[in-house]
Amino acid sequence: MKKNMKKAKRVVSTMLAMALALGLFAASPVLASAEDLPDLAIGTWAGTGANPGDGHRYVTMGNYNGHELKWRVLDVYVSDGKDGNTEGSKTALLLMDDLLRTPSGDIDYIRFNAHNSNWAQPSELNLFLNDGFFNGVFSADEQAGIITSNYSMGGPYEGNYGFPAAYSSKVFMLSTDEAANPAYFAGNADRTAEYYWWLRSPGDSDISAAYVDLEGAAIGVGFDYFFNYIGVRPALKISLPSDTIAPDPTVCGVAATAFVEKLSGSKNNLTITVTEQLTDGSLVPVTVKFSIGNNAAATYSVGSYKVYVDTKGNTQIRECRIVE
């Protein structure tokens, strides 16, 4: 039995088959999973990636310099409230699949900063992403659906410069830790773009910021933040409909069944099965066998339930019910 499941308090008697026939296990709606491509509050599903079997989903949303933007879904999760979102809210983490481009289609190189700091929040790049980019790329509805969340610096050098532990932002750069997360990327090749791209983590010196290189490796030691020839892959989080992710199933019904196997002499085997019906439609049975005497009547422990069984005539079940 799953300990975190709330037990049904009402007494349910009779055989499992009878319980099903009588409709005691009423069907419950099963919510869609993220892989089922639920309706989006903003953006449009764009299918899977160009590489067969890459496993990524994509969303199109926004337009930059005449180019429709395609976003890779890195994660879908339920917020615990620690990231600045409402606890229990459904959220998708998106990364732009390409580098930002100029109107002619060339890479739009943007320096990390020119203000003597490798702290991401006040950086020139972060200010651009949350002002000119955010306001110029997305519609009013899209802007409303992009979540403000809290982000740590990440990376091996985040504690070297006395920066605040986290900052709030709508559009951001991935950290070194996020870029190296195997749950987000299958390996270096899965991280590659046409050129280098910035990360938000500080590098190993006070004039460097982390980046991803041409081979797709996340370089924590970083590069000079005032360098003008590194690309940008913005990241953001969007709200998802409340039914995007199925909650953990809970018990919505329970029934007990029993039968007696006649043995020689005055002893018999009593087999009791308690079956839980979960809200996702699945059944969780637990079966225990007991040695009993003829015409036995007693209460037996089956998993976390107590089941009263009254036998008669050696192999007959007079009564079988779960007791509180």
Running along the chain, 324 residues long, what does each successive block of 10 average in pLDDT?
32 32 28 43 58 66 95 86 75 93 96 85 93 95 89 86 86 95 89 95 92 95 90 92 57 90 87 86 86 91 92 86 88
Bridge partners (DSSP) listed for residue 197: 212, 231
Q: What is the pLDDT of residue 156?
A: 86
Q: CB burial class (10 A; 0-12, 13-18, 19+) of residue 94? A: buried
Q: What is the pLDDT of residue 7?
A: 33
Residue of 242, 166, 151, 186 whose CA lies nearest to 52? 186
Q: What is the pLDDT of residue 4?
A: 34
- Report how far residue 56's alpha carbon sits from residue 49's, in angstroms, rounded to the nearest whole number: 6
Q: What is the pLDDT of residue 271?
A: 94
Angle at 173 between CA 63 and CA 125, to 5 degrees: 75
Sheet holding 316-323, edge to edge: 297-302, 305-312, 316-323
- Report how far residue 258's alpha carbon sits from residue 311's, in angstroms, rounded to the nearest whole number: 10
